[in-house]
Homo-oligomer: A and B are copies of this chain.
Amino acid sequence: MEPIMIIHGGAEDVPEEMIPCKTRGVRKACNIGYRILTQCGGSALDAVEAAICYMEEDEVFNAGRGSALNEEGDIEMDASIMSGDDLSTGGVTIVKEMLHPISLARMVMEKTPHVLLAGEGANRFANDCGMPRVPNCQLITEWAKIELEMVKKSERLPRCDTVGAVAMDRCGHIATGASSGGLTGRMVGRSSDSSKCGAAIYADDRLGGVSVAGHGESIVKLCLAYNIVNQLQCGKSPQQAVQNSVNEIEDRFCKRAGAVVLSKCGNVGVFFTSHRMPWAYTKGKKMYYGAKPGELNVSDCSCS
């Protein structure tokens, strides 16, 4: 199969001045994942993990460093990963003091009999795995502090973006992942869609893979990622499927969302009802990318 790498950087009403940084970030993450698929013989899971790790390090995204703060000004992060090969999945919720929740999610998938670890138990598992502790103060950015104050004063809406990735490797295996710093000003202990297979992510080699973003509570209520994959099963194209399901979020809950979708045949769908959703995908020798509704840029792939 032809390797394909798809990235999104969150569906939200991003301030206009942040768009170039976010677009640059998703393109870089897409290159990192695609290089693993094409040059390093890596699996779809490897590509998804590496691409999301990059975005967790780039503080322009709401994941890892740069995570949105809860009502007490602290960080609690969520992540999940899924392999379409055998539907294995792993997730973590309300974890602290780590730069790469996505890597811990993969360890939950591969090293435990469980699919989701929460809170202190998840952090203890991270210690047992030798994952380095990064104090939350090193993950909290000045922008996140300013944003929390603005949200508390109702001067801006809370961020509810996520980062996500979907990949297909040469074996035709599909993987997907998500990582999020959560909703600005949320309650302590709020667990987001990004930790949940079926909500933020879903992958099944027989059908396709999805990673979604947007208002997490609505995404959970509609099982958005599974909902989209299910439409592929009913014969919808990836673009039709993502439009139907994301529009249903708006119709039923008046909330915004977005998603990137890959079918088992290698067709791609991208759609969002938010003001912006930075996205990029690489297929063949081309990278496609955009951030505004209807925007489609094409460039030669620099890493195949």
Contact = CB atoms under 8 A, between A and B. Distances in A.
A223 interface: yes
- From DSSP, what is the main secondary structure of chain A's interface residues? mixed
Contacts of A223: 197-198, 202, 223, 226
A116 B220 contact: yes
Interface in A42-84: 76
A119 B188 CA distance: 9
Query: How many chain copies does the complex carry?
Result: 2
Interface string A127-151: 0000000000000000000000000
B115 A189 contact: no
A244 interface: no
Nearest to A123: B189
A87 B121 CA distance: 30
Interface in A175-224: 186-191, 196-199, 202, 216-217, 220-223
A113 interface: yes
Given A76-B121, A125-B187, 19 more contacts: A87-B222, A87-B253, A94-B118, A114-B186, A114-B217, A115-B216, A116-B190, A118-B118, A118-B119, A118-B189, A120-B120, A121-B189, A124-B189, A196-B198, A197-B221, A198-B199, A198-B223, A198-B226, A223-B226
